[in-house]
Structure 1
Amino acid sequence: MIGKIRNSSIYLNNRKIIENFSFLSLIQVVSLVSPLITYPYLIKVLGLELYGTIIFAQAVVSYLSLLVNFGYNTTGPKEVSILKDNIGELSEFVSSVFIVKIILWTITFVSFMLIISFFDYFNQYFLLYFFTFFITIGDVLFPIWFFQGVEKMKYITYINIFVKLIFIISVFIFIKGKDDYILIPVINAVGAIVSGIISVYIVFRKEGVLFIKVKYANIKKSFHESSILFVSSLSISLYFSLNKLIVGTFLGMKDVAIYDLAEKVVSIIKTPIVMLSQAVFPKISREKSIAFINKSMGFTLVGVFILYSLLFLFSDQIVYFFLHTHSDLAVKVIRIYGLSMFFLTIGMFLGGLRLIPFGYNKQYMLVMMANGIVYLIMIAFLWIFKLINIYSIAFAYVMTEAFGFAMAFYFNYKLRLLR
């Protein structure tokens, strides 16, 4: 009886975390599984070369998404969680974020159109890059930061599941041959726009937020506060998305497709880790309990060990399912890339879930910037000594995550945030 009461008390105290974690896990699983559902079909219809080209274009545009998001996906939830009971200040903050994002998107769009128009490397696939870019409209309109801050992740979940289902159905209906490849970014862009419009309606109609005129000083303040974490996000993406660009540039588009498979498979396993961090972030920001952070980290690490063990054991079967053939290359890349989960987990609890909630944004930025610099040094070393291959690039990513964990640990020790 006492045990039941205790369990009930634990659930009530952490109900929001459990609910948000469940919704976030579901949405991420759907987001990651949906491209894997279509992966075998697209490989069969388009081939590794053309599919790799599509993934390469998405990797390029992912950097532009960073410019549009500008760190608000990190700072936004914290601000919204603090202001959610004051509709006036909340409306002003939300409005300032949308205004900044619209401005950034416009600048980015014009710049990107000039680049793909004048450089032959992009111009040969102009329409592919053009339509892929419009996925970034979702970064402007879809306020995941808002829903995370008010702890109502069900909205994001429902919208994304609907959009992903439409994407999967559309791929099997409309993609029948290599000439149809251009429809893939079109379908993605339409999905991003539709989900963005629905979410904006929910924010300003269902949640009662008002789109108001914002003073220039407040926009400038919001922009400045997010600029620090924008640098951090840019550094993270530097050693995450740049890998596929390097693979495509030095090794070819077939290897991009294989690397992308490894990334997608491992990303599914990383999903519970990332979702847990997003679910507990508002609670940690409010309560700042180091004991709670440490318990969550220990629990997560046990799960990561189990998940990686399963990944290692069944990697060959996974590769055969998606590529329709055995590939030692893909198996080894998946196993190497999967090691990053351990360092990612510890680094996440020491960085984004400790330094940021406790107000040490600059220290977090330094960690991420150092990661980016170390990654570039490793890639330069590989290039100078002609050691670039798909294994070394995957290993460079793992070692970058390891360095980030070590540096975050140093700052936590120095700032006495470990216990």
Structure 2
Amino acid sequence: MSTRRNALHLYIIQGTNILVPLLALPYLGRALGPEAFGTLAFSQLILQYLILTTDFGFNLTATRRISQANSNRENLSEIVINTSVVRMVLAFTACAIVYTALSLTPSLASTRTLILISFVSVIGSVMTPAWLFHGLEKNHIFAAITAVPRFLSLIPLAIYVKTPSDLELAAWLQFGPQFVTGLLCLAWIAVSRPFKYTKPKLSHIRYAFTDGIHIYTSTILSSIYIYANGIIIRFVGGEAALGLYSASEKLVKAVGAMTSPAVQAIYPRVCAGSNPSLKYIYAFVITFTSMCWVGAVVLGDWLVPLIYGRSFVESASVLKVLTISPIFAGLTMISVQLKILAWGEHKRLKWIYATSVAFHCIQAPLMVNEFSVIGAAASVVLTEFLTFVLVSRTVKRIRVSNQQIKDTATSAAPH
């Protein structure tokens, strides 16, 4: 399948992940109000950490290995089976830890039920091997499997969710589609049989774990500064303040998500040895994210109340600041996935994200305490900019190092 068609199907997948929440947001904002909306947002925040732990970087590492082993069915089977075993163990462990924390933390009583409901989505994530579809370039199938449950969930949402008292039902309708997607993925695997079952091997399980741990460490570190603000706001400003912040954050995430399919479509080819030009991807990311930021500044005061209602009017100021972050995040994503990871230099990412997390953990609480939700938005922009600078410097150092090795090899070769 061509890179363009692969990118198109990835955009359909990402578009579904973006469009369905965007269609649901106006209704949820008006039906639930800022406080209940903030409660739901906090449970979604915890779910993101659970999903990140379950994915464990396999969307990159397993995709790379599958794209390289595509023609070898035996190797493919070993990768799928052993990766799946690791994901199941990680999901069980993460859910057990969260359940224990909920039992020991009285201040989380208001969100306990919603977080437990979100475990359904974690189970669905385990049953959804997105990395298998990406590695085999079967994204057209995965696009359909992803889209149907998400769009169908909008129907009961519009019919039955009317007031803040319907919060638990809203949670089921938000978290349930992932479980249905997982069932559909298993059904496709059972019918098409892209791999054969092999007995898991401890050595292969260990390799899958160690192969993903560097990516996971970098991802979880970066997610700390991406999602930590929600936790800080929840305990400093309350659930209503979190609702105001999350309203804008969800719109900004949609902007960032629209840039990733272009990178994901090329990633398997780069891992397989291709060397495509990246100038068009850079141009697209810069142009698209900059236009979204300008649009937020010009139209934010009109757009946010239009989507969520007048009770969310304060979110407009958050949106104007927060939409700067996808500009830096998009450029960082290109350098990380298509350069650092493709060059096999993933170990360098840990110190980058560790530095960013340390910076964010110092300045974010101060910014939130001083400037509330506006400070939270500004803290994300500052950290994304720092990460972009650190990644850019790392790419430059790797290039210099590789060139020195090449020059040394050339000078040592016999003439």
**Would the TM-score normalized by the shorter structure come out above 0.5?**
yes
Structure-2 residue corresponding to 1:411: 394
Q: 2:351 aligns with which of 363, 366, 371?
A: 366
Structure 1 position 185 matched with structure 2 position 142: no
Deviation, 1:118, is 2.9
For residue 277 of structure 2, what is the amino acid of its counterpart?
F
> Which stretch shows the higher mean deviation, 273-282 or 24-33?
24-33
For residue 325 of structure 2, what is the amino acid of its counterpart?
S
Kept after mapping to 1: 8 A contact 2:3/2:266: yes
Q: 2:132 aligns with which of 146, 161, 173?
A: 146
Q: 1:170 aligns with which of 135, 143, 156?
A: 156
Residues 303 and 187 (structure 1 numbering): CA distance in 2 closer, same or farther, change over 3 Å? closer
Q: 1:262 aligns with which of 238, 248, 253?
A: 248
For residue 133 of structure 2, what is the amino acid of its counterpart?
F
Q: 2:381 aligns with which of 369, 391, 398?
A: 398
**Runs in 1 of length 4+ with deviation above 6 angstroms?**
none
Provide Cα deviations, 1:209-263, integer angstroms capped at 9, x if missing partner.
1232121011001101111111111012101111111111111222222211212
For residue 318 of structure 1, what is the amino acid of its counterpart?
L
Q: Secondary structure at the residue paired with 1:292?
A: coil
- Partners of 1:300 and 1:109 lie apart in 2 by 35
Q: 2:27 aligns with which of 26, 30, 41?
A: 41
Deviation, 1:162, is 0.5
Deviation, 1:388, is 4.8
For residue 247 of structure 1, what is the amino acid of its counterpart?
I
Structure 1 position 354 matched with structure 2 position 339: yes
Structure-2 residue corresponding to 1:205: 191
Structure 1 position 218 matched with structure 2 position 204: yes
- Partners of 1:127 and 1:328 lie apart in 2 by 29
For residue 183 of structure 1, what is the amino acid of its counterpart?
L
Q: Secondary structure at the residue paired with 2:278?
A: helix
Structure 1 position 342 matched with structure 2 position 310: no
Kept after mapping to 2: 8 A contact 1:288/1:358: no
Provide Cα deviations, 1:178-218, integer angstroms capped at 9, x if missing partner.
32211122223432211101112323531521232121011
Structure-2 residue corresponding to 1:274: 260
For residue 210 of structure 2, what is the amino acid of its counterpart?
H
For residue 104 of structure 1, what is the amino acid of its counterpart?
L
Structure 1 position 378 matched with structure 2 position 342: no
Structure-2 residue corresponding to 1:237: 223
Structure-2 residue corresponding to 1:283: 269
Structure 1 position 50 matched with structure 2 position 36: yes
- Partners of 2:223 and 2:373 lie apart in 1 by 18
Kept after mapping to 1: 8 A contact 2:81/2:197: yes
> Which stretch shows the higher mean deviation, 77-86 or 362-371?
362-371
Residues 21 and 235 (structure 1 numbering): CA distance in 2 closer, same or farther, change over 3 Å? same
For residue 168 of structure 2, what is the amino acid of its counterpart?
I
- Partners of 1:380 and 1:303 lie apart in 2 by 31
The normalised TM-score by structure 1 is 0.90
> Which stretch shows the higher mean deviation, 110-119 or 214-223?
110-119
Deviation, 1:306, is 2.9
Structure-2 residue corresponding to 1:309: 294
Deviation, 1:380, is 4.6
Kept after mapping to 1: 8 A contact 2:225/2:380: yes
Structure-1 residue corresponding to 2:411: none
Name the % identity: 21
Kept after mapping to 1: 8 A contact 2:285/2:331: no
Deviation, 1:110, is 2.3
* Structure 1, gaps ≥5 residues long: 1-14
- Partners of 2:254 and 2:35 lie apart in 1 by 24
Structure-2 residue corresponding to 1:329: 314
For residue 61 of structure 2, what is the amino acid of its counterpart?
T
Residues 105 and 259 (structure 1 numbering): CA distance in 2 closer, same or farther, change over 3 Å? same
Q: 2:99 aligns with which of 113, 121, 125?
A: 113
Deviation, 1:142, is 0.8
Kept after mapping to 2: 8 A contact 1:60/1:245: no
Residues 151 and 365 (structure 1 numbering): CA distance in 2 closer, same or farther, change over 3 Å? farther
For residue 227 of structure 2, what is the amino acid of its counterpart?
S
The normalised TM-score by structure 2 is 0.91
Deviation, 1:29, is 2.1
For residue 154 of structure 1, what is the amino acid of its counterpart?
H
